[in-house]
Amino acid sequence: MSEPIRDIAIDSTMIDPHDPAPMFQQLYRQIRDQIRAGILKDGGRLPSTRALAADLGLSRTTTIAAFEQLETEGYIETRKGARARVLPLPSAGNSREADHLPQLQDNLSRRGQTLVTLRHETGFPGNYSLQPGLPDALAFPFTIWRRLVSKHMRHMPGETFGYHSYGGHQGLREVIAQYMQSSRGVKCQPDQIMVTGGAQSAFTLLAHLLIDVGDPVMIEEPGYTGAHGAFGAAGARIEPLAVNGRSWDLKSISAVRPKLIYLTPSCQFPLGSTMRIEQRLRLLQLAAETEAWVIEDDFDSEFRFSGNRVPTLQSQDIDHRTIYVGSFAKTMLPDLRLGFIIFPGEVVPPVRKANFLMGTAAPLVTQAVLADFIRNGDFARHTRRMKRLYAAKRALLADHATALFGDVMEQVDEGNGLQTTWRFRCKADDVAIARSALKAGVNTTPLSAHYVHGAADYGLMIGYAATDEKQIPRALHKLNQAIRQHLP
């Protein structure tokens, strides 16, 4: 249960001059009814009689009389020199007719139904181990971040507060352009960049900018369900782009002639494979021939532990059909809700306005802080440190997992990203296994959850980054017990 609000504003209180009841009784009844309904909760402090009288245009004698009546009946407690406090009632809130309120899920649009019925695995609050895709928050340099936040909260309010800069903070777009050119070989200028409230906001924005109802959109199968949600809710007709191991089935592109192709070529989600160069070039060729936009989701590219980082599709696209989507959710924290889109050309102001109208923009002050964090070199130092830490954790997890359940599962990822992917050697109910593991405090994702069309493979996505290194063997032992419960 959440903590009650300690200082209560009762701005909804209204005094009717035409009501024959005395004003103190009107005030008394309204406060009493709010306490009975559970709106004013146990322990909350009411405004002082002087402040309440000033707010309502009453005499202080009137507010004192109302408070005295409330105290007499046991609704509040007053003490000299202190604010009146709401007392607990055994049945507070029971009088509210919640059962008779309209149910939102019975009144959803088709777009709403698409969103709420989509099978999408998320995290859970609390101490759960082995959650895929979650970075190590305990290793984040909060001291540096707090100092930068304090700086921007004290200075330059005109630059970091307001409804301007729909497309993103100018300083952040400049450092993103520099970083992407040097680290990923992306060809871009600041005017091509749109800052969003995370990668999911970017997909939602792109879906509304580029897709009309019924347009075919190809998404990897298996693939990221968040992309299914964004484009499906926009009315797209989702078509599968089959992925089997390291091979993408590109032959179907010419037949489908999609308006847009979404894929994760650097670290395929969820299989963890990398698209080979011949397939990358063929994909770009087919996109140009069919006039399809390509959305390159480069969500996990910073943490590559096998070989060198591969070039982006965008850097190899001579026809300029690729739209690059990046995020700071894995390198920093998901809670910052910061992502960005790199368009093939300049993003003109009217298009930037869509970022505001869709509610997909990110807070300017957070963008300004991140710009300093990158410009000062703190981001580079943090990612280097995390890569060393994650490499050790990943190796530890792979060794222990192979020893525990390598007889029934094989690792299929190529050693990149913040999670590992395992496929069962025999048919298994990965949903039931994941559910049993969750009860033991281990949060893995069933591989079958990422298949929407046709037959699914069965396995588990197992994270490691957010789990303490000393806890990984114990968590894997619990997972192994859950696996054995459901296998012959």
Least confident of 74-88, 101-115, 264-278, 357-371: 101-115
**Confidence band, pLDDT 50/70/90 cuts, at residue 423:** very high
What are the structure tokens assigned to 226, written together? Answer: 């968040």
What does the pLDDT look like over 209-221, one tens digit per residue? 999 999 999 999 9
Rounded-to-integer distance, Cα 230 and Cα 244, Å: 24
pLDDT for 15 equals 83
What is the CATH classification number for the domain harbouring 40? 1.10.10.10
What does the pLDDT look like over 272-300, one tens digit per residue? 999 999 999 999 999 999 999 999 999 88
- With pLDDT > 90 as the criterion, what percentage of the chain qualifies? 63
* Mean pLDDT computed over every residue of the chain: 89
Is residue 366 located within the same domain as residue 388?
Answer: no
Is residue 156 located within the same domain as residue 266?
Answer: yes
Domain's final residue, options 343, 377, 411: 377
Answer whether residue 279 is part of any domain. yes
Answer whether residue 131 is part of any domain. no
Is the confidence at residue 398, as pLDDT, over 80? yes
**Confidence band, pLDDT 50/70/90 cuts, at residue 93:** very low
- Per-residue pLDDT, averaged over 32-58, amounts to 87
Answer whether residue 132 is part of any domain. no
- Per-residue pLDDT, averaged over 173-193, amounts to 92
Is residue 196 located within the same domain as residue 258?
Answer: yes
pLDDT for 356 equals 87
- Per-residue pLDDT, averaged over 432-440, amounts to 95
What does the pLDDT look like over 160-177, one tens digit per residue? 666 667 889 999 999 999
**Domain enclosing residue 439, as ranges:** 381-486
**Confidence band, pLDDT 50/70/90 cuts, at residue 101:** low
Is residue 266 located within the same domain as residue 414?
Answer: no
Answer whether residue 301 is part of any domain. yes
Least confident of 124-133, 195-204, 255-264, 407-416: 124-133
Is residue 190 located within the same domain as residue 328?
Answer: yes
Answer whether residue 107 is part of any domain. no
Task: Look up tokens 């990965």; give the residue.
Answer: 430
What does the pLDDT look like over 4-20, one tens digit per residue? 555 566 667 788 888 88
User: What's the whole-model pTM score?
Assistant: 0.82
What is the CATH classification number for the domain harbouring 245? 3.40.640.10
- With pLDDT > 70 as the criterion, what percentage of the chain qualifies? 92
**Confidence band, pLDDT 50/70/90 cuts, at residue 70:** very high
Is residue 341 located within the same domain as residue 234?
Answer: yes
**Confidence band, pLDDT 50/70/90 cuts, at residue 2:** low
